[in-house]
Amino acid sequence: MKFSNEDRELLTRVLLLALYNKKEEDTIQDVLVELDGLQAISLDESKALLKEIKRDSLFVEGSFTPIGLERVKEAQNFFQQFK
């Protein structure tokens, strides 16, 4: 998928937060499908972003790495400014 840098960063933040806040019984696929259903990120887009997140070692074997948790915190702070 071709995203502008701003779009990629925003969508990555959304995906990171969705993965972080997922229910224990939900799978990663469930999260991606839910984002698609909400029209937040298409399934293809979220899969591409998930690959990037994994490639960047933010999310490994279903869990966030310390670097990934730092990015989640940054995403939370980013969206807090809009409250």
Total of domains in the chain: 1
DSSP code of residue 21 = T
**Strand intervals (E) in the chain:** 59-60, 63-64
- pTM here is 0.93
Q: In which residue ranges of the chain is pLDDT below 70?
A: 1
User: Could you list the residue range(s) of the whole structural domain that residue 25 is in?
Assistant: 5-80
The DSSP call for residue 4 is -
In the chain, % of residues over pLDDT 70 = 99
